[in-house]
Structure 1
Amino acid sequence: MSSINYSEKIPNNVNLAEDRTLQRALEQWQPNFLHWWADMGPEGSQNFDVYLRTAISVDPQGWAQFGYVKMPDYRWGIFLNPKEEGRKIHFGEHLGENAWQEVPGEHRANLRRIIVTQGDTEPASVEQQRHLGLTAPSLYDLRNLFQVNVEEGRHLWAMVYLLHRYFGRDGREEAEALLERRSGDEDNPRILGAFNEKTPDWLSFYMFTYFTDRDGKFQLAALAESGFDPLARTTKFMLTEEAHHMFVGESGVARVIQRTCEVMNQLKTDDPAQVRAAGVIDLPTIQRYLNFHYSVTIDLFGADQSSNAATFYTSGLKGRYEEGKRTDDHRLKGETYRILDVQGGQLVEKEVPMLNALNEVLRDDFIKDSMAGVARWNKVIEKAGLPFRLTVPHKAFHRRIGTLAGVHVTPEGRVVSQAEWEAHRDEWLPSAEDRAFVGSLMGRVVEPGKFANWIAPPVMGINRQPIDFEYVRFN
């Protein structure tokens, strides 16, 4: 089960050839996917040879190989972790029952909704990043962008397989719709707000892959607990690939910070205007980008109180992050959780039933994980001997979903009037001037081993290759 058959039109480890109807349906969807890739995938990259990682197995010891591939020829396929014999549902009302191998009729609509929402994020991020290759700061970074893109494409295939295999005509229609929506389109946008935002520059890309792909990690980990076994097995393998996306984000931001600190020490100044004049991104601007991407991402977890989240958990469809490591009864009836509310112009905590607060539980797990990476960025600044420190804004800052939507809260957590918010907005979030400045630095660098002035080289290359390796060949 762990090896992947690459001799077939659609590489897979699910014995696709044994289900001719399903195979034909997916082979009919495949040209539409390739058409979408040609229209909405990385701009102007169709003929490049890219040094990419391709999954060859789901064995964690040797699951991928590296080699040059033209992206339209990348072998997107369907890979599930091996089946765990005797697996049980380990949370909710079905606790202790056998995991489902087929969709239970009463949970069909909710499962389809979960899969479609997850599936919709995958092509959306490719669309958001479509133009970034034209301004890549190095071949190393260009290759990392393309690796992220092809893997998001494969994650789309993962969800489309589930829709086709388990949801009949409804699933096929949903799979078509995944290729019809467009990020940021006024008439037919992507389902979740963060996936309709623009990713216009590489600092945005690094923040997106650090924060928003981390949301993906937590959502996929919660789905990997699912009582619907094919979904759990699918998302467990997706998590293997997702780790690289977060590495691209964390290391990318760290390299931007490192270069900025080098210039600040050379010039012996912390004046943002002088730092910008030297062609690097000042630390306060990096903080504002962080504030924006972090706040937009924590909205992705949904409303702080959600009957849907309670239903998904109670039904055994979506667990908590690392459900198996938790020591409660895994049913949560009678359990409570503290969430934020606004009373009398102040933020206050209130206790609510934990089942209704499961979005908030997952959001808090994400926040803790995010803060660890920001602490590592601060180590770069500290090592450079500079006093500035990046901070994660308050959970209530710049929120558009749930109880906190429309409440004006500073990064420190103080509730303010709309007038005060508007007066200080550009101190807290990237201004048009910030975005224009960062955009002005974006120029393509494609000589092996060379890097744009605003970013430091990485510590090491990909797959033990040297940093000046020809990661992308232009034909």
Structure 2
Amino acid sequence: MSGINYTDKIPNNVNLSNDRALQRALEHWQPNYLNWWQEMGPEGAQSFDVYLRTAVSVQPDGWAHFDHVKMPDYRWGIFLAPQDGERKIHFGENKGRDAWQEAPGEHRANLRRIIVTQGDTEPASVEQQRHLGLTAPSQYDLRNLFQVNVEEGRHLWAMVYLLHRYFGRDGREEADALLQRNSGDQDSPRILGAFNEKTPDWLAFFMFTYFTDRDGKFQLCALAESGFDPLARTTKFMLTEEAHHMFVGESGVSRILQRTADVMNELGTENPESVRAAGVIDLQTIQRYLNFHYSVTIDLFGADQSSNAAIFYSAGLKGRYEEGKRTDDHVLKHDTYKVLEVADGRLREVEVPMLNALNEVLRDDFIKDSMAGVGRWNKVLEKKGIAFRLQLPHKAFNRRIGSLAGIRVAPDGTVVTEEQWRAHEHDWLPSAEDREFVASLMGRVVEPGKFANWIAPPVIGINRQPVNFEYIRFN
């Protein structure tokens, strides 16, 4: 079944009404979710009518419907890609066996851990972005923020369904806990570090949706390979929605760069202070924000050598990015991979068993993908005749996880002393002054077709609507 049943209290395409116990359990969880949304969702926006897209099918063509909807009334639900009855596990020690339709007992704990960790990131994003609507640079951007928010909420539903359906009482308890942790909470923080960072301004939001949602893409792609078929089918559809989040980030930064470049050309200056005085974000500050969000995000892939990664792969629970396109034996017992370490004050590569380096494999795939987008940002500057170029810092820069944690490395990959790091830290990472300056530019713009001074309008609107369309009805 590919169409989605909207007659049920919880929209779904998994025939939820045929499993009364599961339906009751999820309907019991639903009010807790709505209470969380009212408390931790977008601030001051619950009564707005927002031009949102809602999934009506899991098929690629015509899968979404657009209309003005109040966010608390958004039809969150449970949508799995169509089942392939012939699907086999195609990597690890179980390669060639039928994909699991139920959680296998010997892998139950690891599967639950994978699902909980992924599920925990979804509400965390909503919590991190809670206050951003108060400073949106346009209706267009405000609508995109809210679209990201409701889809992150739906991704939480996707993981909660798996926990309830396949993990019994333990799963129900884990699903409850997903609403009890809060981003940045000292006593009960979110599981992964990047999801406890603040997202205080729109430059941070765009960097987050470009880099951190891209981590989500790669994690979901790895889980879409899973031998646990319900997880694979769930994440394949989540990727359809995730693509929009990355678009918001990439296009948002592009529009900031365009506006900054235009002002630089109008003034005939590259001086950051003069650029700031004109009310736009200087390129150096944008680079520092990039350095921060990129380095925090690549830590999300975990330690460069991980026995858990080896266990997950060998069991068939989590594959590599585009596993089916790789030409090795998909078992990897005799393969190696290069990771970084510091020796004699320098970074060097060492070969380790690939099974233990699968986090690094996924991180490197992410880095290649991220570089492509940065190249497109630089095309904006090139077309405007600006010589400055954005760059990804070295992957050892500002790391807090794995063998590189705590080692001081400059953006160019040079190992530096603590004293050198402190002398240049504000050249490489956003300072309090940088964040205060960016915050000073943040002011809400709500008139259709109008945009804040520091960002350019998009070329086209959403769903073929004009840029000056009334995306938000402020009730």
User: What's the TM-score, normalizing by structure 2?
Assistant: 1.00
For 1:63 and 1:463, locate their aligned partners in 2 and report how far apart those are by CA, in whole Å.
13
Instruction: Note the C-alpha offset of 1:62.
Output: 1.1
Match of 1:118 in 2: 118
Pairing 1:35-46 to 2, within 5 Å after superposition: 35-46=35-46
For 2:463 and 2:386, locate their aligned partners in 1 and report how far apart those are by CA, in whole Å.
33
The one-letter amino acid paired with 2:145 is L
Instruction: Note the C-alpha offset of 1:85.
Output: 1.6
Instruction: Note the C-alpha offset of 1:229.
Output: 0.1
Match of 2:10 in 1: 10
For 1:422 and 1:35, locate their aligned partners in 2 and report how far apart those are by CA, in whole Å.
44
Match of 2:262 in 1: 262
Root-mean-square deviation (CA, aligned residues, Å) is 0.3
For 2:440 and 2:270, locate their aligned partners in 1 and report how far apart those are by CA, in whole Å.
21
Match of 2:374 in 1: 374
Match of 1:433 in 2: 433
Deviations 1:354-393 (A, max 9, x none): 0000000000000000000000000000000011000000
For 2:460 and 2:397, locate their aligned partners in 1 and report how far apart those are by CA, in whole Å.
36
Match of 1:333 in 2: 333
Match of 2:414 in 1: 414
For 1:386 and 1:471, locate their aligned partners in 2 and report how far apart those are by CA, in whole Å.
33
* SS, match of residue 51 in structure 1: strand
Pairing 1:178-327 to 2, within 5 Å after superposition: 178-327=178-327
Is residue 104 from structure 1 mapped to residue 104 from structure 2 by the alignment?
yes
For 2:349 and 2:229, locate their aligned partners in 1 and report how far apart those are by CA, in whole Å.
37
For 1:327 and 1:79, locate their aligned partners in 2 and report how far apart those are by CA, in whole Å.
32
Instruction: Note the C-alpha offset of 1:24.
Output: 0.1
The one-letter amino acid paired with 1:470 is E
Pairing 1:45-56 to 2, within 5 Å after superposition: 45-56=45-56
For 1:18 and 1:389, locate their aligned partners in 2 and report how far apart those are by CA, in whole Å.
57
Deviations 1:33-82 (A, max 9, x none): 00000000000001000000000000101110100000000000000000
For 1:291 and 1:30, locate their aligned partners in 2 and report how far apart those are by CA, in whole Å.
39
For 2:317 and 2:165, locate their aligned partners in 1 and report how far apart those are by CA, in whole Å.
17
For 1:62 and 1:82, locate their aligned partners in 2 and report how far apart those are by CA, in whole Å.
15
Deviations 1:396-428 (A, max 9, x none): 000000000000000000000001101100000
Is residue 162 from structure 1 mapped to residue 172 from structure 2 by the alignment?
no
For 2:462 and 2:62, locate their aligned partners in 1 and report how far apart those are by CA, in whole Å.
16
Instruction: Note the C-alpha offset of 1:29.
Output: 0.1
For 2:343 and 2:249, locate their aligned partners in 1 and report how far apart those are by CA, in whole Å.
37
For 2:99 and 2:373, locate their aligned partners in 1 and report how far apart those are by CA, in whole Å.
35
Deviations 1:332-366 (A, max 9, x none): 01100000000011000000000000000000000
For 1:223 and 1:386, locate their aligned partners in 2 and report how far apart those are by CA, in whole Å.
41
Return 5+ residue gaps in structure 2 as ranges.
none
The one-letter amino acid paired with 1:174 is E
Return 5+ residue gaps in structure 1 as ranges.
none
For 1:273 and 1:249, locate their aligned partners in 2 and report how far apart those are by CA, in whole Å.
25
Deviations 1:416-463 (A, max 9, x none): 000110110000000000000000000000000000000000010000
For 1:41 and 1:444, locate their aligned partners in 2 and report how far apart those are by CA, in whole Å.
18
Is residue 87 from structure 1 mapped to residue 87 from structure 2 by the alignment?
yes
The one-letter amino acid paired with 1:400 is R
Runs of 4+ in structure 1 over 2 Å off: none
User: What's the TM-score, normalizing by structure 1?
Assistant: 1.00
